[in-house]
Amino acid sequence: MNADALRGHMDALLLSVLEREPLHGYAIIEALRERSGGALDVPTGTVYPALRRLERAGLLAGEWASNGGRKRRTYRLTDAGRTALAGERSAWRSFTTAIGRVLDPLR
């Protein structure tokens, strides 16, 4: 998928993936790939800065955990993150409805 098409939607995608359970960075990338049927193969250089930004904004909480001797930062949604995700979903529905009316006017 074109990286430009994801611009502006990465926050919503990350928040949505973390809605179910806390995950570490690589698991988040895998969840995006799996939930999109392979269409989203987002590079780590895009995901990790976004996770740090969302954490600084208070939408995610991160903590270090050891797994098999490896330290990984695991992220979970905060209450503010859940509220933001609800807003992102609402905005997405409005956006897709408006675009759909233009692209498929006979519907």
CB-based burial of residue 38 (10 Å sphere; 0-12 exposed, 13-18 middle, 19+ buried)?
A: exposed
Largest CA distance in the chain: 58
- pLDDT per position in the chain (107 positions), as tens? 666 677 789 999 999 999 999 999 999 999 999 999 999 999 999 999 999 999 999 999 999 988 788 889 999 999 999 999 999 999 999 999 999 999 998 86
- Cβ-based neighbours of 11, under 8 Å, separated by 6 or more: 50, 54, 59, 84, 88
Instruction: Report pLDDT for 4.
Output: 66
Using alpha carbons, select from 29, 24, 30, 32 the residue that is nearest to residue 73: 24
Instruction: Report pLDDT for 68.
Output: 82
